[in-house]
Every structure is written in C-alpha cells, then in structure tokens.
Chain A
Amino acid sequence: MNFVKRYLLPRLFIYFLVIFVGITMVFIIPRLLPIDPIQQLIGQISSRGTYLDPKTLNNLIDTLKELYGLKGSLWQQYCSFWRRFLGGDFGPSYYQFPVPVISLIKQSLPWTIGLLLTTTIISWILGNIFGALAAYFSNRRWVKVIDIIAMIIRPMPYYILALSLLMLFAYIFPIFPLGGGYLIGGQIKFGLQTILTLLKYAFLPAMSLILIGFFTWFQAMKLVVQTVKSEDFVTYANIGGVTQARIVNKYIIRNAMLPQITGLALSLGQIFSGSLITEIVFSYPGLGTLLYNAIFTGDYNLLMGITVISIFVITTSILLIDLLYPLFDPRVRYR
C-alpha cells in the first residue's frame, strides 16, 4: 500500500501532468511560429507554377481553413484537438491533405524503429561492455587503440562521418548501395533474400549510427567505471578479499550501469522523432524527414502527431525506469 501511495501515485500524477503539459505545448508552439500552413501551401503551389487567380484565392483560403479545422477561436481548436486526440485521431495532414496523419506516421515508423531501435541497442550494449572492460583494463594496448579511434570519431560531425562511409563503401568500394531502403522494383517478401537485401540497404546508415553511438557510450561508461573503481567501497572490498569477479560484476558494473540505463531510456524515447541527417544522407525512409517537412510546411497536425508519440514514449520510458530503478539500485526503495 505504501508503494502505491508514496511511490506509484506521485509518479503517475507527474506522468500524466507532463503528458498534458507537453501535448498542450505541442498545440500552442506551432501556432506561435510565423508560419501559416495555408499561406505556406499557397506559396508552395504558386512557386511550383500553378496559376492561382487572385480573385479565387480568398475562396481557396476559406475552403482550406474549413477543411483544415483552423476555423474558430484558439480555444475551440484546442477543445476539438483534445476530442480528436482522445479518440486516437491526429486529423488530416495539412500539406498532404486529406491523408490522415496516422497513415503517414504508420508508413515511416517501422523503418525508423527498425533502424534506430536496433542501432541504439547495439551501440548501447557494445559501448557499455567495451567501456567497462576498457576502464577496468585501462593499461592494455587495445584500450589505447580504441581510445584513439574514439577521439577521432566522437568529435566528427555526424554528417561528415555518414558521407565518408558512403564515399568509402558505396563509391570507392561499391559494396553497398548509395541509399534507399530496398531494391528498386523488388518485392519485399518474407525470406532470407529479402532479409539480406534489407540488411544490405540498412548497413551503412546503421554503421554510421552505431559508430557514433558506440563511442559515446564507450567513453561515458569508461569514465563512470573509472570513477566507481576509485570509490571507497571498492577499495574496502578489495582489502576485504572479495573476489575480483564479484567486485567487477556486483560492485562496479552494477553501480556504473545506473546512469547508462537512464541514458538508454532517454535515447529510446528520442527514436520516435527519427534521425533526419541519416535519412537525408542515405535516403532512408523514416520519421525524420516527415517531421522536418511538417515543421517546414507548418503542418500542425503532422507535427503534433509525431511529437505526441515522442512525448508518450519518452515519458513512459522514464516512468518505467523510475518504477524499475529499485531493481537496479538497492539504495532506492519503495518507502
């Protein structure tokens, strides 16, 4: 009972409050932008050469306002937004009217999850394992080699890294494709060949993300382990004759993992806004370019749809971590 009252309920309250405030902000912020979605659309149509008779322009604006649900006061729009939202409907995309926002998200989400979830987890696991080993065996030659590589790759702008991989493995040694998600004109069918083709197309974008992610986690973990290693309780355990394996596994790694677990939860949440540069460099399908286009065109509904999903995932990840934390950290108790 204590757990529910003192631990769970306050966290659930904060959870729902953050979601409420976050979603309200998502509604308000785009409306503070100097971008009017209708004017953007008309501007785009005009600049693409379509002849819009100035006389009919105002009729068009009225029709679009009606269709986009932008008529009425801000409060009316806000209420209607919550009504739709609670029914699981983000409304139509303005820019790609009348396609529902949810259809656009559904189309991009699997690619984003497939690429970013996998690469985040792989780089997290590898980065932490190697980071911990490197900190523990800090005098070994391989650690120094990884450190040097990390010092080169970590500060490198992601765009340059991605482009270098592309140049190296798609142009100079044309092993991988220049971009895309799947073979052009090929059908995605369940089978080994399809999986291999998908992997081939995902390899370079995944490699670019893993490289950056790996070295980030590696350096963070190495630093934390080094700090924990010099803590009094480790020294005490050493003096007390506790076995090295136990010290590493139970004392050092377990303590060092705590900030890394929190970091992972935040990284997983960020997956849902996609990786714009990866998608642009490798023409890889995903939510990144969708979100960018939503901002650029003032597509409020699409912007809200993607951001709301992101808010949900981040807050839920944090809530889960908060609830599971006592399992990782014995100092935290449901009291």
Chain B
Amino acid sequence: MRRLVSFLILALTVIIAFSQLAPGIPRNETFIANQLTGRVGTPGNFNLWAGWRSQDRGIQNLLLEPLWCVEYATGEIINALAAEPPIYNKDFTELTIKLRKGVYWSDGVPFTADDVVYTITLVKNTPGMDYNSQMQAVKEAIKIDDYTVLLKLTVPNSRFHTYLLDRWGALRILPKHIFEKVENPLTFEFNPPVGTGPYVLKDFDPGGYWTLWERREDWNRTPTGMLYGKPAPRFVLIQTFGTTERQVLAMAQHELDAADLTMEALRAVLQRVNTARAWRRDFPWTVNIDPCVTGLMFNNARAPFNNPEVRWALTLAIDIVEYAANAFDGAVTLSPIHVPLTSAYYDWYYTKLDKWLKEFEIDLGNGEKFKPYDPTAGKRLAEYVKSRGYTVPTDEETINKVFGPGWYKYAPDVAEKLLIKNGFKRDKSGKWLLPDGRPWTITILTTTNPAHPSYRNGFALAQAWKKFGIDTNVVTSDALATLGQRGEFEVTTDWPAAEPWGGHPDLYRVLDPFNSEYLVPIGQNAPWGNYGRWTNPELDKIIVKLRETDWNDTDSIIAFGVEGLKLLIKEMPGIPTFNYPGVIAWDEYYWTNYPGAENMYAQPYHHWPNFKYMLPFLKPTGRK
C-alpha cells in the first residue's frame, strides 16, 4: 500500500511539474505558431521536391531560401539566393541568374551555381518530382561561373523565372552534394534536412503534430541573415493544435504566439488575452493585404450564365453592404476588380481604374445606359460597421484602403430590366422564371469549411439572390476541386480569378488562365483560375502582349493589366466581392514588434515563406 501511495505521489509530481516544452527549450526563446495545413502525414520526410510534405511546417518558411520571394506587404520582390532580378535576353529564350555570394548550406558546404544547375536538371529528368512538367521548358542549364547560371529555354518565355519565385510554392534549390549521392530522389526522405535558410531541424513529432527548429549558429551566412540580420527566436515550434477552440485556449495560456483563427475565435482571443493583437489593432482586425480575392465564378459554358447581361443582372442584385455584413460582419475590404485591394495593387490598379469605373456603362436596351459603379460602397460599409458600435477611420483615403473604394450599385430594378430584356419573367409570387418558363433555381457550389471565405460568400450570395426572387441552393462538397475543374457547377464561390503575385504588378497569372488556348468543354479539366470557361479574343491579344513584355517593364505590364481587368469587369465572368480576410492573432506576451497595418514591414503569416524575413524584427519582452 505504501509503495502504491509513493508511486501515485511520484506520478502526480511528474505530471504537474512538466511543461509543454522539454527542458533545454526555454519558452521565452521559442516562437510557437500553429500549422495552417494541420497534422503532418509524413513527419520524417522533408523532401518537398517529391510531393506535398507540409512545407509550411518550417520547410519553406525557415529551412529553405528561394531564388526570389514575393513580399506583398511592401510590393517588392526580394532577391534571396539570387543577387539580382532575373535577366532575360531580347527574345526571352535565355535567362541569366546571378547568385548571392557567401551563402552556405546548413552543413557548411558553400551554395553555388552547381546547386541551381543540378536542381533544374534533376527535376527536369525525374518524372514525379514537383515542377518536372514546368522544367521541360529548359533546353539546357549552364554554369557560367560559381555565381552565374544561364538557362536556355525551348520557347520564348518572359515569365519562366516565376517557377523559381516563391509566393507559397516555387521550385526551391536543393543541395547538390546531398542529392547526388541518392539513388532515388523520389523516395529519399531528406532527413535530417539541409537548407540555406536561417533555421535547422531540431526535432519533430513522429505523430506529425509538431516540428521544432533551431536558429543556425552561422545565420549570417544565409540570405535572411544578410538581408535582415539575426532572427530573434532561438527556437521556432510549428505545431498543429487541431480545433480553433484549442488554439484559443493555448493563446490564453501563452502557449501559442501566432495563429490562424476564425472571426469568432479572434474575437474571443482579443477579449480574453490582453497581450493579443491582430493585423489591425482596431476593427476590422483582419489582414487586408492578402493577395487573394474572393467572390464567385459563373459557369460561362452553361445557360443562362453564358450571357454577360445575366451575369451583370446577378451582380446588381447584390447589396454589397448587406452581403459583407452577412458574410463577415462587415470586416472585409471590398474588391470591385479581379485583383485584391492590397497597398501595392491600390497604387498599381485601383487608382488607375477609378475614373474608368465611374464612367463605365452597361446597355439596358432601348438606348438606356446605366453606370453600375458605386464609389460610395466602401463608405456605406464603414457606416454600417459604425452602426454596429465599432470605431472606424474617418479620412477617406483610409476608408478606401480599409473598406474598399467602392463596389457595384444595389440596383434590383436595373437587374430586372436586364433580365426582362433577355426573356426572363417573374411568376405571380414574384419569383423569377427562365426564358422558357421554368422556375429559375441556382445552385451554388462551395467548400465544406464554414470558416472559409468561400463558404461565407456562398451563403451570403444565396441570401442576396433569394431576396431578389431567385430560388437559390448552396451545396457544400469536399469534391469542390474536382467538380470545379470539370465545370460541374452553375456558380461556385471558388476564387473569381487566379491570384496575382501579390508583390509585383504582373497580372499574367490572373489573365493567362482565361486564354482561349486552354478552353475545354464541361467534363474536362479547366485550368485553375478559369473553371468558369470564359474567354475573350481581346484578352487573348493582351495575354500575348504580356508574354512579350519584360517582367521588369513595370509601366507596360500595368497598362496591359489595366486593359485585361477592364475586359473582366465588362463581361463579369465571375464577381469579385472582397479581399481574402486573413484572420490571424499574435500574442505579445513573449514577442513584440509584429508587422501590422500600422507597421507594414512584412507580410503577416507564419506559414508563408517570408516568415523567416519577419523573425529578425521580433523583439523579446524578457518575460520568463
């Protein structure tokens, strides 16, 4: 009995004495972030060149550096392993890459042109490796000297380097001295991993719930160190917390420094954790510089959505303030064009399209025209938010940037005219009938995740169109990606257009998927960014011009981008509604000086590759 009691006391002591972190990993020297993509399926495998390896668990954001990286907070492209921007020859058949000198792999081997040449050649010659298809465009990768690489391309391509440009994915350079000894690069686990980034693997959970990284002693021999200095935390722990509730509890106990949350969870954190903050210190708190724009896409290959006047009628049937209130309690930035309103895109595109938008008219028939743009929509949204009791900025410029400069008018009468012009009718109860007399029912396909903006867009949209008199259903499906690509939907709240780079004015990524070259019938796989199967010959011409324009020729790129966006607005193949509202919280208990709307030195997400460039700016509070 005495033994049993002793054992129980010992057990209890051990239980209570333990903390989450093992001895030797001081909490005040550790930065803890939740993992966006959840539990790691292959915890011991770090070979991200051979498939999805949960790169956001530190592989892309701590261990590896890319050649170039997009920084959408400042609107710049960071030269990381590259020393300079990409250099193309006149006809875009050759790309010269100048490399940064003095960079070392974490095992002490110098990083050189050999690594770049080897990476591109290996990936090109190994089916199954990521970017294998893309690298077929390389005729030859040549080492000019230790810090210069020349890529000869099979066809002219002024955007080839974008495969090597990190945004949330890129062909990152692998260590030649490790991979050249490997028999099968596909099955190789790359464990322990060797990188050019400022952190190395310390430990990982075989169950896949956490990965622990330690700052390199020679951090100054990495691009991060050279560009921004010493990363502040000695350790970074990327952990999967499971449910949002658990993230809130962990933040309340200061066991989590940075987290992606839902709006409801963010409110709970901000109310309960007095050291917590979000991107904006005041409402709407959310990150409004995310490079994604949310909204909906019509299936332009299906009647009646193949008619631009019907698409415009459905746009004008949306009261965007009510819509934003239903979707996110108004905590969004309205985006009337097909790129999000980040600071950079505001200057590059929003200001340039403002006048045109105000003058833009749609034809209602019988010589009647209508100007659909409502430059007061952002202000109306701000007023709504104010009426909810939140403090909102008062100056116009800030309102424009926080709530959006405008959107489209809520004009159900005009929508009605457009539909009647196209043969639609209302029945006795006011419900809309198709031109053939059948009741008009619209099914909206969306994701199954209630916290996702797509889901929120789906239900807000259904409410708006129901109010207008259209019978509308929402179908949530895990098969969204498959059904979307095959065009098996009427309306989907997947993105209205592919995302741009975020930190560069080039809209090739947004516009090229609409190229008629890739148009496929329903049942076949459409490219990402054009599940709606819309094309336009005018846009094809703009895409060709963009292809022939140097990536560094900003003025021409913006001019072509503006023309492309005008076509998208005129035809409205998908309706942009608001920016992706990133809902993140940081706890300032152990670390301060996070980037924020008032101090936008870096993008805010810990799962993005640029996270490593944020870490040197963090400051310890000194709390133990």
The interface bits of chain A over 200-233 (1 if a CB of B lies within 8 angstroms of the residue's CB, else 0) are 1001000000000000000000000000000000
Q: Mark contacts of B125-150 with chain A using CB atoms, 8 A cut-off: 1 yes-contact digit, 0 otherwise.
A: 00110101110110000000000000
* A283-B499 CB under 8 A given contacts A49-B168, A56-B133: no
Asked whether B242 lies within 8 Å of A171 as measured between CB atoms, the reply is no
Give complex CA distance A77, B249 in Å: 47
Query: A98 near B25 (CB under 8 angstroms)?
Result: no
* Interface mask (B256-272 → A, CB under 8 Å = 1, otherwise 0): 00000000000000000
A61, closest chain B residue (CB): B525
Which residues of the other chain, B, contact A177 by a CB distance below 8 angstroms? 18, 20
Contacts of A91 in B (CB 8 A): none
- Secondary structure at the A interface, as helix, strand, loop or mixed, is helix
Whether B481 contacts A174 by the Cβ 8 Å rule is no
Within 33-66 of A, Cβ neighbours of B (below 8 Å) are at 33-36, 39-57, 59-61, 63, 66
- Interface residue? B482 (CB, 8 A): yes
Q: Give Cα distance in the complex from A272 to B68, angstroms.
A: 45
Chain A residues within 8 Å of B37, by CB: 48
Given A46-B528, A108-B207, A111-B207: A34 touches B246 (CB 8 Å cut-off): no
**How far apart are B453's CB and chain A's nearest CB, in angstroms?**
12
Q: Which of A8-16, A247-255, A289-297 contacts B (4 or more CB under 8 A)?
A: A289-297
- Contact (Cβ within 8 A) B186 A178: no
Q: Which residues of A contact B207 (CB under 8 A)?
A: 107-108, 111, 180-182, 284-286
Question: For the complex, is B398 an interface residue (Cβ under 8 Å from A)?
Answer: no
Residues of A within 8 A of B20 (CB): 177-178, 180, 183-184
Q: Are A98 and B186 in contact (CB under 8 A)?
A: yes
Known: A59-B133, A178-B255, A283-B39. A42 touches B15 (CB 8 A): no
In the complex the two chains form, is B52's CB within 8 Å of A182's CB? no
Tell whether, in the assembled complex, residue B169 and residue A185 are in contact, meaning their CB atoms are under 8 Å apart.
no
Interface size of A by Cβ–Cβ distance < 8 Å?
79
* Bound Cα distance A61, B127 (Å): 11
CB pair A179–B242 under 8 Å, yes or no, is yes
Taking CB atoms, residues of chain B closer than 8 Å to A197 are 14, 18
The reply to whether A50 and B168 contact each other, CB–CB distance below 8 Å, is yes
Q: Are A50 and B169 in contact (CB under 8 A)?
A: yes
Is B479 a contact of A185 with CB atoms below 8 Å?
A: no
A159 to chain B, nearest CB (A): 9
A186, CB-defined interface residue at 8 Å: yes
A193 within 8 A of B: yes
Flag if A96 contacts B42 (CB, 8 Å). Answer: yes
Interface contact A48-B169, CB-CB below 8 Å: yes
CA distance A280 to B243 in the complex (A): 6
Say yes or no: is A266 at the interface (Cβ < 8 Å to chain B).
no
In the complex formed, the residue of B with least CB distance to A100 is B187
Contact with B along A101-120 (1 / 0, CB 8 A): 00110011001000000000
CB-based contact A53/B134 at 8 Å: yes
Contact residues in B for A34 (Cβ distance below 8 Å) = 477, 479, 482-483, 488
* Minimum C-beta distance from B221 to chain A (A): 25
A283/B209 contact (C-beta < 8 A), A43-B480, A50-B168 known: yes
Judge whether A18 is part of the interface by a CB distance below 8 angstroms: no
Chain A residue numbers with a CB within 8 Å of B168 are 48-50
Residues 220-257 of chain B, each 1 if its beta carbon lies under 8 Å from chain A, else 0: 00000000000000000101111101100110110100
Is the CB of A282 closer than 8 A to any CB of chain B?
yes
Is there a chain B Cβ closer than 8 Å to A67's Cβ? yes
Q: Once the chains bind, are A97 and B132 in contact (CB under 8 Å)? A: no
Among listed B458-466, B511-519, B615-623, interface-contacting one: B511-519
Does chain B have a CB within 8 A of A196?
A: yes
Contact flag A49-B237 (CB < 8 Å), given A35-B478, A43-B485, A181-B207: no
Stretch at the interface among A20-28, A79-87, A143-151, A162-170: A162-170
A60→B51 CA distance, assembly (Å)? 12
Pair B128/A97 contact, Cβ less than 8 Å: yes
The answer to whether B481 touches A39 (Cβ under 8 A) is yes
Name the 4 nearest CB pairs between A and B, nearest first: A43-B481, A285-B207, A49-B168, A50-B169
Interface residues of B (CB under 8 A from A): 10-11, 14-16, 18, 20-22, 24-25, 37-39, 41-43, 45, 50-53, 127-128, 130, 132-134, 136-137, 162-163, 167-170, 186-187, 202-203, 205-210, 212, 237, 239-243, 245-246, 249-250, 252-253, 255, 477-486, 488, 498-499, 509, 512-513, 515, 517-518, 525, 527-529
22 sampled A-B residue pairs with Cβ under 8 A: A35-B479, A42-B481, A43-B481, A46-B498, A50-B169, A50-B170, A56-B136, A57-B133, A59-B133, A107-B207, A170-B249, A174-B253, A182-B207, A184-B22, A184-B205, A184-B210, A185-B212, A185-B237, A193-B14, A203-B15, A280-B243, A295-B478
